[in-house]
Chain A
Amino acid sequence: MSTLEIKDLHVTVDAEKDTGDGTGHKEILKGVTLTVKSGETHAIMGPNGSGKSTLAYSVAGHPKYTITGGSVTLDGNDVLAMTVDERARAGLFLAMQYPVEVPGVSVSNFLRTAKTAIDGEAPKLRTWVKDVNATLDALNLDATFGQRSVNEGFSGGEKKRHEIAQMELLDPGMAILDETDSGLDIDALKIVSEGVNRFRAKEDKAVLLITHYTRILRYIQPDFVHVFVNGRIADEGGPELAEELEASGYDKYVKAAAV
């Protein structure tokens, strides 16, 4: 069992433009409180620029963001005090919206290195190769995929499927999926969703699904839905909230936040 607790989280980013207050920092998250437990799937929905991705990257430890207040704990341990790689080894995983190219590093080498780092020992060769092939195959990635350089020359769909493959193979307790659905056609969306559902079906897995659209929620049924506007959670509810958003959009929240 694991529990991710985010309490009153405030985050700034180094601003590219003058922020007018002389600090050069722009506050993106303005007090976010959220608890995600094993066995639960949470969807965070919100318009562009609402801070959804900032939440994901802050929890993962991206150096661009500065935590100015609040706390993040995983089973009581201070996540914010951990390095990026320590967070991953503690059981956090972030499927990125824009996975980064690493030229010259093959997918298979990368996966094996990551698995070794997470487990603290090299995986058993025979079962590992079998696992990798089965995982890639289930995501409709062909056998030569392992020889390609990480994310280099991948199509948008391949990048997202590769993220899901990593999630399945590294097997974290807590997966944050940052707009994994964006830019996918319907077939790719189904394949990716099946991967997420396979992961959810395992014991004690938690998923935090960040999305702009309700489309993916037809394939991945969330237990909780949070509406994210202007750096805060503006509304919360069950799956029915997603249906409401599908019908009415984010307008009423955006207007309320602007007042």
Chain B
Amino acid sequence: MGLDVSSHLHPVGSFDLADHPVPNGREEVWRFTPLKRLRGLHDEAVLTGTDFDVKVEAPEGVVAHSVPSAGSERGASGFVPTDRVSARVWQSAADVFTVEVPAEAELSDPVFVTFTGHGTAEAVAGQLLVKVGAHATATLVLRFQGSATFADNVEIVLGDGARLTYVTLQDWADDAVHHSTQHALVGRDASLKHVAVTFGGDVVRHDVTATYAGPGGDIEMLGLYFADAGQHIEHRLFVDHNAPKTRSHVTYKGALQGQGAHTVWIGNVLIRKEAEGIETYEENRNLVLTDGCQADSVPNLEIETGEIEGAGHASATGRFDDEQLFYLRSRGIEEKEARRLVVHGFFNDLIRRIAVPELEEQLAATVEAELSKNVLRDASSLGSSATMVKED
């Protein structure tokens, strides 16, 4: 058995686990992932662990509660599992954590949902459904911390004209494994800002897909990641332009440091025949701070109509730019400080675009903490040759 994967950009999904054989790692969608380190999430691991807690801070008017899977509205985004992990989550998870923002509500503060794991031994399955009613405006910040072996399915449904900033912050302990499958349905003239920030975890693999329920929708996907020695951080994105006059803009930026740090960014965009007048741009930039790192970056654009406003992508992976460092140092700035400035600068505009004031300071501080692990500790051991890979 197996799914129709004539184009891996839009496979036909299935709720039946039998349609999802255990991957062997040679499949296109799994070829970058260290399956052995997934602790069986893709195979047979029992997903009934309960060693975690969830804290919710929600402003007035927001309904946030657990609903048994059977009586829930899961599937409302049109989500159908296309891989074994998400199909297993669908089968195993008893509840759906549901966050609902009523139509036309304007939330004064973000909704914070904090998931804290207390161990990796028992794998946990989670489901989240976020519904933002028509013309409502909301910010939801999902924070993951602690130790866990965690697989979740997330559905985001935006009504017409709704605006949601959705932040998923992976601040895991070093031993966490997190596989996340997320699907968003963006209503007519609605706008979704989807932000993924990944610092922690041993293996983090996020598969995010988004599509439109009508014309005029806007999707912005922003990502910031920092991989340390031995860490695998994988972001797989797919925007399905299935409606006219829609827009998508993807910017992911990452830094890598330490032996075996591995990041993967897959940026897929499909422009369907009916998606006339759309505009899309995706870019991924990686800054390699030390030897021994690997950054894979694969943008992919499939275009079925030429009647569009614009479509493009860019991908670049480089080391510290010698010319930048020389320029800063020629003004008296010491090498370590110069490197610090360059890395902060690399992430700064992205942090500004996330535009969640409650997070801004924390993100800058986390970048600083990551830097102190390596770049600021021993600048002299770093390679200085400039390499730049550009695709277009």
Q: When chains A and B are docked, how far (Å) is the Cα of A23 from the Cα of B240?
A: 55
Interfacial chain A residues near B52, Cβ < 8 Å: none
Contact A63 B322 (CB under 8 A): yes
Task: Give residues 61-96 of A contacting B (CB, 8 Å).
Answer: 61-63, 83-85, 87-89, 93-94, 96
A-B contact count (CB 8 A): 81
- CB A20 to nearest CB in B, in angstroms, measures 25
Q: Assuming A62-B326, A84-B326, is B345 touching A117 (CB within 8 A)?
A: no
Contact A105 B341 (CB under 8 A): yes
Residue from A83, A88, A89, A105 in contact with B345 in the complex, judged by beta carbons closer than 8 Å:
A105
Contact B342 A105 (CB under 8 A): yes
Interface centre among A83, A102, A166, by most B CB within 10 Å?
A: A102
| Chain A interface extent, by class | 20 to 34
Interfacial chain A residues near B322, Cβ < 8 Å: 63
The digit string for B29-50, where 1 denotes a CB below 8 A from any CB of A, is 0000000000000000000000
Residue from B334, B344, B346, B347 in contact with A85 in the complex, judged by beta carbons closer than 8 Å:
B334
Residue from A61, A94, A102, A109 in contact with B324 in the complex, judged by beta carbons closer than 8 Å:
A102
Interfacial chain A residues near B335, Cβ < 8 Å: 83, 85
Q: When chains A and B are docked, how far (Å) is the Cα of A118 from the Cα of B330?
A: 10
Interface centre among A61, A88, A104, by most B CB within 10 Å?
A: A104
Q: When chains A and B are docked, how far (Å) is the Cα of A94 from the Cα of B330?
A: 7
Contact B332 A100 (CB under 8 A): no
- CB B283 to nearest CB in A, in angstroms, measures 13
Contact A104 B330 (CB under 8 A): no
Q: Assuming A105-B348, A110-B341, is B333 touching A100 (CB within 8 A)?
A: no
Interfacial chain B residues near A149, Cβ < 8 Å: 345, 349
By beta carbon, the residue of chain A nearest B342 is: A102
Contact B327 A102 (CB under 8 A): yes
Task: Give residues 15-70 of A contacting B (CB, 8 Å).
Answer: 60-63
Kindly state whether residue A140 has any CB partner on chain B within 8 Å. no
Contact A100 B326 (CB under 8 A): yes
Interfacial chain B residues near A110, Cβ < 8 Å: 328, 331, 341
Interface residues of chain B, those whose CB is within 8 Å of chain A, are: 321-324, 326-335, 337-338, 341-342, 344-349, 384
**5 extra A-B contacts, CB within 8 A, seeds A63-B384, A110-B328, A114-B328:** A96-B327, A102-B328, A110-B331, A114-B333, A117-B332
